[in-house]
Structure 1
Amino acid sequence: MSTLKVRVDQKKLDRAAYVLKCVAHPVRISIIDLLDQRERLTVSQLQEVLQVEQSLLSHHLTNMRDKGIVYTQREGKNVYYFLTDNTITDIIGCINGCKLF
């Protein structure tokens, strides 16, 4: 038992918990999945696929931006959303592969 230890650095564990709390919502996980497929999307494009009210979608995107999950880039009238780190999309594979779901 003496060789048993936590294999992840505490700083990484803290960040993982922070990020997982942020994305722990079906709409937010769906946003991650869609941004993995297209790299960048507008609120209108996301809303078309997700079929949620724009105000609710904007709330989720603002929360994700504030937590550092997505960032934005304005091009004319459009604001595009991007993932800050594409490795977060690994969560989609974990969900699909997990027998608990």
Structure 2
Amino acid sequence: MNITELESEKLEKAANMLKAIAHPMRIAILSFLEGDTKLTVTEIHERLGIEQSTTSHHLGILKDKGVLCSQRDGKNTFYFLKHESLSKLVDCIGQCTCSE
């Protein structure tokens, strides 16, 4: 598929998703959720080593822009990648930032 085949609305959605991902903590969140992994806010904030409220803020942005989904199970809400193919983006970022 090339750019001329993409609709303007899809391009806008893709740009908004990339903007949402473009933060070091959010990239880290995506890396934690690779491979069909589902984690709670608590599990994610402990891995990041930041406040739970800050983690919730980042998760909200990623969910709002269509990057993540959530599923409630009792008292816990689990977050996971909306599209497993986003794992490829995280892999690409990792490879592109390796020292030469």
Give the Cα–Cα distance (whole angstroms) in 2 for the partners of residues 100 and 37 of structure 1. 21
Segments of structure 2 that go 5 or more residues without pairing to the other structure are none
Quick one: which of 60, 68, 71 aligns to 1:70?
A: 68
The 5 A counterparts of 1:2-41 are: 7-8=2-3, 9-11=6-8, 12-37=10-35, 39-41=37-39
Matched residue SS, 1:86: coil
* AA at the equivalent of 2:80: F
Query: Residue in 2 aligned with 1:61?
Result: 59
* AA at the equivalent of 1:15: K
Aligned-residue offset at 1:89: 1.4
Aligned-CA RMSD value: 2.1
Quick one: which of 80, 83, 88 aligns to 1:82?
A: 80
TM-score (norm 2): 0.84
Give the Cα–Cα distance (whole angstroms) in 2 for the partners of residues 25 and 37 of structure 1. 21
TM-score (norm 1): 0.83
* AA at the equivalent of 2:83: D
Between Structure 1 and Structure 2, whose CA radius of gyration is higher? 1
My pick for the range that moved more, 17-26 or 91-100, is: 91-100
CA offsets 1:7-62 (integer angstroms, 9 cap, x no match): 22244433321111011001111111001056100011111111011110000011
Segments of structure 1 that go 5 or more residues without pairing to the other structure are 1-6
